[in-house]
Amino acid sequence: MLTRLNEILEELLIKWECKLIEFNGEENHVHILFQYHPNVMLSKLVNNVKTVTSRRLRKEFAEQINAIYWKDVLWNGSYFIASCGGVTISTLKKYIENQKTPE
């Protein structure tokens, strides 16, 4: 499912004129490192990402998701965004790559 989420994110971010740099997930959250144009309204982007990915994943993996998840929404309403002015992109990529991906 994470592989498919990665593909969906790549497609979606291209539509927003953004670039996916790194992606990984754990059992209860994901990390997404991307570049974006300063004119992009991040709150709208996040809302769109959550809406589209939830709809597609629930459609494509309905049986898996419904077996372990009982809510109508896939994502919760919160998110965290940070700029990386003091950290190199390679450091952020390593951090995301080293997340404990569920089996």
Per domain, the residue ranges of the chain are: 2-97
* Among 36, 33, 5, 37, CA closest to 21: 33
Q: Is the whole model's pTM more than 0.75, yes or no? A: yes
pLDDT of residue 61: 93
Is the domain defined by 2-97 classed in CATH 3.40.47.10? no
pLDDT tens-digit map of 55-86:
999 999 999 888 888 777 788 888 988 776 67
Between CA 76 and CA 54, with CA 25 as vertex, the angle to 5 degrees is 40
Between CA 53 and CA 18, with CA 71 as vertex, the angle to 5 degrees is 15
**Residue 18: is its pLDDT beyond 80?**
yes
Q: Which two tokens stand for residue 54?
A: 């939830």
